[in-house]
Amino acid sequence: MPSYPDLDSLLRRYGRSDQLDVLDEIRVAAEERGWWSTYRLPPWLQAYVGLETDACAVRCFALELVPGLLQTPEYARDTLERWGSSAAEVERGVRVRVERQRRLGIELELTVVMSEALLWRTFHMGPVGVGQLEYMASVGSRRRGVELYVLPFAAGGHRSMSGSFTLMDFPGGEWGPVAYQEYAVGGHLVDEDGAVAKLDGLLAGLRGQALEAVASASLISDFATRAKG
């Protein structure tokens, strides 16, 4: 097989040896194992969690499932068990969600536009749902860096009735936003500029149809109170 010069040699040949330090930094970063690597996550979820760990903001539309960054341990456990995960997978999944949430309001901002359907679905989940609704009511009204908006049924049809999606923004402006979509048996990242821009505009439209933050917090609180009975 033919041999090719390595990247270091190419940089020197073309007078760009000043980039060698940058290249070394990239190599070191690539070789570092993230905290999530010990949890034996599926490859598609590892990719998402790795990017989320580097992100400075997460923006998402949630149709029926509470986003992982907002899930209580009880809700996460219930959800993973419903998916048929093994006991070990459930416990790992819960720990990963807890670990991801440590950055909220410190290094990571979160904006969620949620369908009213999510509130009703959670309302009917018994004690697990009560705890989840109470947590969202508390986080949405008091936690810095977290904004929750409810898209009510009264808004009628909208452009994302087919599913949820997430957008991640990164600091420094070196990377553009990356999108992520999850489904019943996996998930995938979307980094094509045109597709990401469309999802960005879509989220802005959904936000425009949603209730304002104060009204959303009040509605979530009402659901929590009614669920508690």
- Dump pLDDT digits (tens) for 167-214: 999 998 778 899 999 887 788 999 899 999 999 999 999 999 999 999
pLDDT of 35:
78
**Nearest alpha-carbon partner for 97 in 36, 164, 180, 179:** 36
Domain boundaries, given as residue ranges, for the chain: 1-32, 40-228
Phi, psi of 187 (to 5 degrees): -170, 165
**Nearest alpha-carbon partner for 146 in 170, 119, 111:** 111
End-to-end CA distance of the chain: 73
Per-residue pLDDT, averaged over 94-109, amounts to 94
pLDDT of 19:
54
CA distances from 63 to 130, 171, 193, 212 (A): 19, 27, 24, 18
State whether the Cα torsion 49-51-54-59 is positive or negative: negative
pLDDT of 33:
57
The fold for domain 40-228 equals Endonuclease; Chain A (3.30.870)
Evaluate whether 97 touches 79 at the Cβ level (below 8 Å): no
pLDDT at 1 over 70: no
Q: Which residue has the tokens 């390595």?
A: 6
Which H or E run contains 28? helix 20-31
**What is the model's pTM?**
0.83
**Nearest alpha-carbon partner for 115 in 58, 168, 154:** 154
pLDDT of 42:
82
